[in-house]
Amino acid sequence: MKEAHILLVDDEPNIVMSLEFLMRKNGYQVSIARNGMEALEAVDRTPFDLILLDVMMPDVDGYQVCQHVKNHPRHHETKVIFLSAKSREADVQKGYAAGADLYVPKPFSTRQLMEQVRGLLAA
């Protein structure tokens, strides 16, 4: 079985660095997009198994990226986990409405996040 390919999308360098380290340590192939535009370009170039996606970004937000992925016939199987500081019920609902498989409020436990990533990739 090939290792899963994960796209990290966040405009916060510290979060990207720690998540990249965590995902690689757990045996995943990792690509990085630092904003929504980069994420859209990456998704159009490469099929990903899972996307860890920040909601609040300049230009294109996470909701738009998620909708793009889920509406794309080649990528609708891609799992999307939102990681967001926006944790109001309305934000969470909007995330699921955009097609997210999971919505994880920041700050989050890396151990729990890894369990959720494994669970989604196994599904």
DSSP string computed for 73-123: TTTTT-EEEEEES--SHHHHHHHHHTT-SEEEESS--HHHHHHHHHHHHH-
pLDDT of amino acid 1: 55
Judge if the upstream peptide bond of residue 47 is cis by omega within 30 degrees of 0.
no
Rounded to whole angstroms, how far apart are CA atoms 78 and 101?
9
Hey, what are 98's tokens? Answer: 């955009």
The model's pTM is 0.94
Rounded to whole angstroms, how far apart are CA atoms 123 and 118?
9
pLDDT of amino acid 76: 80
Rounded to whole angstroms, how far apart are CA atoms 104 and 89?
12
User: In the predicted model, is pLDDT for residue 96 greater than 90?
Assistant: yes
User: In the predicted model, is pLDDT for residue 86 greater than 90?
Assistant: no
Paired with 7 in beta bridges are 31, 51
- The closest alpha carbon to 65, from 47, 50, 80, 87, belongs to 80
Other C-beta atoms lying within 10 Å of the C-beta of residue 19: 21
